[in-house]
A and B are shown apart, each in its own frame.
Chain A
Amino acid sequence: MNENKRDWRKALISIVDALGQPVVAVGISLLLSAIVIMICGENVLTAYGTMVRGAFGNGFYLSSTLSRATPIIMGGLAVCIAWRSGYEAMGGEGQMIFGALSAALVAYYLPIPGIPRILLAMLAAIVVGALYSILSGWLFEKFEVTFIISTLMMNYIANNISSFMTNFVVKDPSALDINSIQTGKIVAEARIGKIVSGNPNFTLHWGFIFALIAVVVVYILFSKTSFGYKSRMGGLNPRFALYGGINARRMLYIVLILSGAMAGLGGAFEVLGSKYRYVDQMIFNTGYAWSGMVAALLANFNPIGTAFASILLAGLSTGGSAMQRSTSIPVEVCNMIEGIIMLLMSVRLIRISHKSRKVRKAQKEGEQA
């Protein structure tokens, strides 16, 4: 009887541990931004109502939220793969930028028919993203340049180089406006199709489905294969992994290739399914890769959780834009919400209280004995 009760309690604690933290984090950050909204002189309920409606209110809004979620999911998967294996790489942004640019170029310049052209464009994004990721791994392995510094610097380098390319090398010659710095528009046959064809308002494209497939693949890879086990061990305890005969160097490169490929592919989806061209700063300004990172953190690097969190964060942005249109509150309030959520997620409020209770109990027992 007592045993049963304890099991039940354990299960509850583990559920609260898994769900409680994100719920508390999201709750507190919504509360804090409610204060900001009130200071701006707007009605909190109206503002949040507009936000929810603008994100998930009807088919159109939902479809634009999901299409926005696509690159975020891919960026989140990239973070999941790398961080779960113990490499705190933050180069998703740079890889996504180069992936997007190379997909745009292949799809625009390569004169071959539809489907192969799309596939080659996606392949180009995968290869370029993976190569850029390998570069950071090489810097780490050969020169011990930490991932934090190399990948952050490489994000800025990638953005500047892509900006240079779109400004001077591959700028759309037919652009009417001299200020529109972008590559040429991809022809209809080389685009990833819309899921609901015929209605231009439904922006959701098949890239979203591909992203969901990628989520499942990564999930299976991590939880059902020996590769997943090895990489996780490497992340949890590198010395144990070494002792167990895992080739750390090979692991490093495989993980980084996978991670970079995901990020690059995310960029390709955004270009081939949504924008149909690479526009200067398009990944940098939208912060897809960073949102992906927040999503992965929210889900504690679980791929399926990451997908849900990505959709939530995408909803935060589309809803935020809707709020910006109808109230005086700018969309950037969502970045603040994201930051606060992330901060509260990192400090593990609930687990600490849980642990301290345990410690207190142990101390009490110690005193009695």
Chain B
Amino acid sequence: MNISIDYLASVFNSTLRHIAPILLVALCAGVCSKVKVFNIALEGTLLTSAFFAFLTQYFVRNIAVAVLVAVLVGMLMTFIMSFCIVKLKGQSMIVGMALNTFALGLTTFLLSVIFHTKGTVTDPTLRGLPKVVLPIIKDIPVVSTMFSSLTLIDYGAFVLAIIMYIIMYKTVIGFRLRAIGINDHAASSLGINVQKYQILSTTLAGGMIGLAGCLLSLGSVTAFIQNITSARGYVALAANNLCQGHPLGAILSSALFGFTTSLSYVLQNTAAKQQLLNCIPYIATIAAMAIYNVIARRRTKVL
């Protein structure tokens, strides 16, 4: 393996491409945690929207429709989740795991009914999300590698993070949402319809998972693979825990997980075995949580 600048640029590029899906899901998790709806159905929601993005593109062949469908599916799944938890008082853990089980069953079921396969579906004629070609940067040698083959959603994820920050911290709606998270009784005594806010905000945030799903099945590869998410939803949950639901912090924590994920792909060319490399993001997740908690505990001790 020879490490050149080009190589590092491609690592950077691969990291960037791995950040957006986790960031988008983490942003949704952030909204959910701010309004006290514990969402562990992220994984299943992501899987379902990735599948329906691919399915729509396969049959309709219109990328805008595919993205729209994925967003709607993401919102629908998140709505079911929050409705069951908020209105029907379901235990959030169980509701979430149920939706994850259901999602895995549904996607595998449809995969075998529609495509008669249980592994990977792909179609060479299928177009994925269009890649953004930046006007000036495309002529600079190394920098162009760094930002090559990124889609609009990849960039959009970062913009969304900033928008989420503005909504959550600079608007009245964001203030109300955070108030619900801090003390829902106090919030409701101020005349905020807590349940309505909880369900609406989480449902809308679920749309972001839909976008992330598009990136998985129509992004850098145009294919649907059974269980394509491979725990990204759970990793995003951990990323959100690290940043305590702060949208800008989510960029940083997602970058950490994007980097470790891309590391496990990049090192494939070395002697290290694939199966062990696959563990890196999961181990990094646990390690990051542990280190964060230790630091946070020290800080509170000092205060």
A residues within 8 Å of B by Cβ?
Answer: 36, 40, 88, 90, 139, 142-146, 148-150, 152-154, 156-157, 160-161, 163-164, 167-168, 290, 293-294, 297, 328-330, 332-343, 345-349, 352
Partner of B95, one of A149, A168, A334, A343: A343
**Cβ of B279 and Cβ of A339 under 8 Å apart?**
no
Scan B221-252; emit 1 where CB is below 8 A from any A CB, else 0: 00000000011001101100100000000000
A-B contact pairs, 22 of them (CB 8 A): A90-B97, A143-B289, A145-B289, A145-B293, A149-B237, A153-B234, A156-B230, A156-B279, A156-B282, A160-B282, A161-B275, A330-B109, A330-B113, A334-B105, A339-B99, A339-B105, A343-B80, A343-B98, A343-B99, A346-B90, A348-B90, A352-B89
Contacts of B90 in A (CB 8 A): 343, 346-348
Q: Does B103 contact A (CB under 8 A)?
A: yes
Contacts of B273 in A (CB 8 A): 164, 167-168
Partner of A148, one of B93, B109, B282: B93
CA distance A153 to B237 in the complex (A): 11
Scan B266-300; emit 1 where CB is below 8 A from any A CB, else 0: 00000001011011001101100111011001000
Partner of A160, one of B99, B103, B105, B278: B278
Q: Does B88 contact A (CB under 8 A)?
A: yes
Closest to A349 in B: B88
Q: Does B94 contact A (CB under 8 A)?
A: yes
Inter-chain pairs besides A157-B279, A339-B103, 11 sampled, C-beta below 8 Å: A139-B286, A142-B290, A149-B238, A149-B285, A168-B273, A332-B105, A332-B109, A332-B112, A335-B105, A336-B102, A349-B88
Most chain-A CB neighbours within 10 Å: which of B89, B97, B293?
A: B97
Contacts of A163 in B (CB 8 A): 275
Contacts of B106 in A (CB 8 A): 335-336, 339
The B interface, classified by DSSP as helix, strand, loop or mixed, is helix
Partner of B231, one of A36, A153, A335: A153
Contacts of B235 in A (CB 8 A): 153
Scan B166-199; emit 1 where CB is below 8 A from any A CB, else 0: 0000000000000000000000000000000000
B residues within 8 Å of A by Cβ?
Answer: 40, 80, 84, 88-91, 93-95, 97-106, 108-109, 112-113, 230-231, 234-235, 237-238, 241, 273, 275-276, 278-279, 282-283, 285-286, 289-291, 293-294, 297
Contacts of B289 in A (CB 8 A): 143, 145-146, 149-150
Q: How far is the CB of A160 from chain B (nearest CB, A)?
A: 5
CA distance A335 to B106 in the complex (A): 8
Closest to B297 in A: A144
Q: How far is the CB of A280 from chain B (nearest CB, A)?
A: 9
Q: How far is the CB of A284 from chain B (nearest CB, A)?
A: 10
**Cβ of A40 and Cβ of B279 under 8 Å apart?**
no
**Cβ of A149 and Cβ of B279 under 8 Å apart?**
no
**Cβ of B101 and Cβ of A338 under 8 Å apart?**
yes
CA distance A246 to B283 in the complex (A): 33
The A interface, classified by DSSP as helix, strand, loop or mixed, is helix
**Cβ of B109 and Cβ of A333 under 8 Å apart?**
yes
With A144-B293, A339-B105 given, is the CB distance from A149 to B286 under 8 Å?
yes
With A160-B276, A342-B97 given, is the CB distance from A153 to B286 under 8 Å?
yes
Closest to B237 in A: A149
Contacts of A337 in B (CB 8 A): 105
Q: How far is the CB of B90 from chain A (nearest CB, A)?
A: 4
**Cβ of B231 and Cβ of A152 under 8 Å apart?**
yes
Contacts of B97 in A (CB 8 A): 90, 290, 293, 342
CA distance A290 to B105 in the complex (A): 12
Partner of A157, one of B99, B105, B283: B283
Q: How far is the CB of A106 from chain B (nearest CB, A)?
A: 22
Closest to B277 in A: A160
Q: How far is the CB of B11 from chain A (nearest CB, A)?
A: 22
**Cβ of A167 and Cβ of B275 under 8 Å apart?**
yes
Contacts of B40 in A (CB 8 A): 148
CA distance A294 to B294 in the complex (A): 34
Q: How far is the CB of B123 from chain A (nearest CB, A)?
A: 21
Closest to B235 in A: A153
Most chain-A CB neighbours within 10 Å: which of B104, B109, B273?
A: B109
With A143-B289, A149-B234, A164-B273 given, is the CB distance from A348 to B89 under 8 Å?
yes
CA distance A199 to B108 in the complex (A): 34
**Cβ of A339 and Cβ of B102 under 8 Å apart?**
yes
CA distance A290 to B102 in the complex (A): 12
CA distance A113 to B287 in the complex (A): 43
Q: How far is the CB of B112 from chain A (nearest CB, A)?
A: 4
A-B pairs, top 8 by smallest CB distance, nearest first, are A335-B105, A339-B102, A342-B98, A143-B290, A164-B275, A346-B94, A343-B98, A347-B88
Q: How far is the CB of A57 from chain B (nearest CB, A)?
A: 24
Closest to A148 in B: B40
Contacts of B238 in A (CB 8 A): 149, 153
**Cβ of B94 and Cβ of A297 under 8 Å apart?**
yes
CA distance A48 to B227 in the complex (A): 27
Closest to A340 in B: B102
Most chain-A CB neighbours within 10 Å: which of B99, B104, B278, B282?
A: B282
Q: How far is the CB of A233 from chain B (nearest CB, A)?
A: 19
Q: How far is the CB of B204 from chain A (nearest CB, A)?
A: 22
Most chain-A CB neighbours within 10 Å: which of B90, B103, B294?
A: B90
Q: How far is the CB of B225 from chain A (nearest CB, A)?
A: 14
With A160-B275, A336-B106 given, is the CB distance from A143 to B293 under 8 Å?
yes
Contacts of A293 in B (CB 8 A): 97
Contacts of A90 in B (CB 8 A): 97
Contacts of A297 in B (CB 8 A): 94
Contacts of B237 in A (CB 8 A): 148-149
Q: How far is the CB of B257 from chain A (nearest CB, A)?
A: 11
Contacts of A146 in B (CB 8 A): 241, 289
Contacts of A349 in B (CB 8 A): 88
